[in-house]
Amino acid sequence: MSEPAQSVSLIVNGSLLSVAPGTTVAAAVLMSGTMTRASVSGETRGPLCGMGICFECRVTIDGIPHQRSCQILCTEGLRVTTPDGGSMQQPWGQATS
Amino acid sequence: MTQNFDIAVVGAGPAGMAAAVTASEAGKRVALLDDNPAPGGQIWRRGARLPEMAEQWQARLDRSAVVRLQGWRVFDCPGPTLIRAERNGAPGAAEAKRSPDRDSYAELRCEKLILATGARERFLPFPGWTLPNVMGAGGMDAMVRGGLAVAEKRVVVAGTGPLLFAVAAHLAEKGARIVAVCEQASLAQLARFGLRMATEPAKLWQGLHYRRTFRQARFLTDCWVVAAHGSDRLNAVTLRQGDKRWDVACDYLACGFHLVPNTELPERLGCRIADGFVATDETLQTSVFGVYCVGEPTGIGGVELSLVEGQIAALAAVGSAEAAQKLGRRRRGKLGFVRALYEACTLNPLLRALAVDNTIVCRCEDVRFGALREAGNWRQAKLHTRCGMGPCQGRICGAATEFIFGWQADSVRPPVFPALVSSLAASGEAGGKARSRAVVSAFPEP
């Protein structure tokens, strides 16, 4: 496997973050010091299964909510928003776009 | 986007890779769909040193003419020749700018279908298990392979199964301080497993190697986590072994109770399920003609068995019955491991009492244990509490309530994963099915 040396920069809740290529958005979110989701009763949640099954790692990516961040790799300029960022306290099932 | 293939394979773990490569090398037009960013499934996930075997299959896949839909999630198979899939990570603003005309919905038609949908971890609810930084054992491993830095972090690994050793060893390699590895099985249970493993020296040797890698940590049998503590994230767990209970400070808990098969797609197609696994004949064909199932959904048996099953199904599907039969002998030789593993991971009934009334069981809908005790079965629980009605469609709480209450989930309905309304509308158009119903089914019905 060839390993490109550069890093990837993304924006998590408005703050710039650099990660190694191949990093998942879920890992980047945790390393930025925040968590991924607020539950329907308002609990803070983080990733559980790491494989796209549990839906606990849902975040808003580039304005689109409910993206499973454990199955998406960081790409340059990606914008991630989590409830800690103050904009996404919406339970699953509400009209999204 | 609709395309026709001789053979479609769903899932690009070892079983799916082997199936796709084998069918393609036999000259068939093959599609391989998988929802992860890269092939390899969970066991050969990138981000850690992979075994030689993985690199060999990856190289064969790269050389092959297999059409790969990597990062695509199959959300429905209305029949054995039709697959509906959606691209993971719907095109966001940045992505849309780069490739404005990219599809997010795909429809494939195939002559033969090989399902290699793998397994997920079984999670059991206990007080505090919904706290951030409590993850699955495999889940935590996947996060670390996905770049999560764990150097100097204190990690408790718990649950059951050989996965615990592999995860503890990998995390230790990445610099984590493994505090304890807690296996719910008894020492006698493990000893029996060890004896049966005498025929698989390579696996025993690997286990010992793992143990050396996390040798600083205590390995405890008959031991499990009874509670996780913290306010906004985990900071300690309470462990229990026999009559002893004690607290351990930690940054992460990696906790999973072995694996349960992903049988939603085979069930959707009407494939016969026996004892929770997909029933197949010797060629891995299910009860539905032209639909094969390989790997963990037919019985949790690990990489080698998965590879053999993938090849057998592909050979059978392309009509090489003799070659398939020859490999069948190798498969039968490995089925003993499935039974041994099943017995080794049998759960202690005391684990049913881990959840207390206010413990959340369904994480999607925040349904608590106390509310579920009133319900007599899975269906009642769904109707009265919304347990299992969230986006994971009961994939997490279903396995837990099956163990705790003995509930069986009822029929699988499409879509088997939540899908965009646009995908459902597109599939309605393409399939000529009632469109309005498809849109409504964006959310699981009871």
A72-90 pLDDT, tens digit each? 999 999 999 998 764 444 4
Q: ipTM of the assembly?
A: 0.93
Lowest mean pLDDT segment, chosen from A54-68, B194-208, B277-291, B381-395 = B194-208
Chain A residues touching B95 at Cβ < 8 A: 62, 75
> Which residue type occupies A65?
P
* Chain A interface, best mutation among B72, B135, B362, B421, by max A CB count within 10 A: B135
Over residues B54-66, the mean pLDDT reads 98
Of the candidates B4, B6, B11, the one whose C-alpha atom is nearest the C-alpha of residue B266 is: B11
> What's chain B's average pLDDT?
92
Per-residue confidence (pLDDT) for residue B199, from 0 to 100: 84
Confidence tier at B434 by pLDDT (50, 70, 90)? very low
Of the candidates B366, B373, B380, the one whose C-alpha atom is nearest the C-alpha of residue B409 is: B380
Residue B120 CB-half CA count within 13 A = 22
Per-residue confidence (pLDDT) for residue B100, from 0 to 100: 53
Interface contacts A/B by beta carbons within 8 Å: 147
Confidence tier at A35 by pLDDT (50, 70, 90)? very high
Residue whose token pair is 């309905």: B413
Chain B residues touching A22 at Cβ < 8 A: 46-47, 146-147
Q: Could you list the beta-strand ranges (E) of B88-176.
A: 105-115, 119-121, 134-135, 154-160
Per-residue confidence (pLDDT) for residue B430, from 0 to 100: 55
Confidence tier at B200 by pLDDT (50, 70, 90)? confident
Q: Which parts of A3-67 fold into alpha helices (H)? A: 25-31
Lowest mean pLDDT segment, chosen from B92-101, B104-113, B118-127, B399-408 = B92-101
Chain A residues touching B37 at Cβ < 8 A: 24, 71-73
Question: Per-residue pLDDT for B46 more than 60?
Answer: yes
> First-to-last CA distance in chain B?
31
Question: Per-residue pLDDT for B365 more than 90?
Answer: yes
Instruction: Please say whether the beta carbons of B262 and B120 come within 8 A.
Output: yes
**How many Å lie between the alpha carbon of A10 and the closest alpha carbon of chain B?**
11
Token pair of B194 as six digits: 């060890």
Instruction: Work out the percent of chain A whose per-residue pLDDT is above 90.
Output: 75
Question: Per-residue pLDDT for B143 more than 60?
Answer: yes
What span, in angstroms and rounded, lies between the C-alpha atoms of B73 and B106?
10
Q: Which residue of A lies nearest to B390 if distances are taken between CA atoms?
A: A92
Lowest mean pLDDT segment, chosen from A33-37, B93-97, B165-169, B204-208 = B93-97
Per-residue confidence (pLDDT) for residue A91, from 0 to 100: 42
Chain A residues touching B395 at Cβ < 8 A: 53-54
Chain B residues touching A28 at Cβ < 8 A: 147
Per-residue confidence (pLDDT) for residue B227, from 0 to 100: 98
Of the candidates B323, B3, B261, the one whose C-alpha atom is nearest the C-alpha of residue B115 is: B261
What span, in angstroms and rounded, lies between the C-alpha atoms of A80 and A34?
11
Of the candidates B114, B17, B9, B22, the one whose C-alpha atom is nearest the C-alpha of residue B57 is: B17
Lowest mean pLDDT segment, chosen from B155-159, B231-235, B410-414 = B410-414
Question: Per-residue pLDDT for B439 more than 50?
Answer: no
Which phi and psi (to 5°) does residue A81 adopt? -125, 135
Instruction: Work out the percent of chain B whose per-residue pLDDT is above 70.
Output: 93
* Chain B interface, best mutation among A1, A7, A39, A54, by max B CB count within 10 A: A54
Per-residue confidence (pLDDT) for residue B443, from 0 to 100: 30
Of the candidates B34, B45, B234, B97, the one whose C-alpha atom is nearest the C-alpha of residue B153 is: B234
Question: Per-residue pLDDT for B107 more than 70?
Answer: yes
pTM (two decimals): 0.93
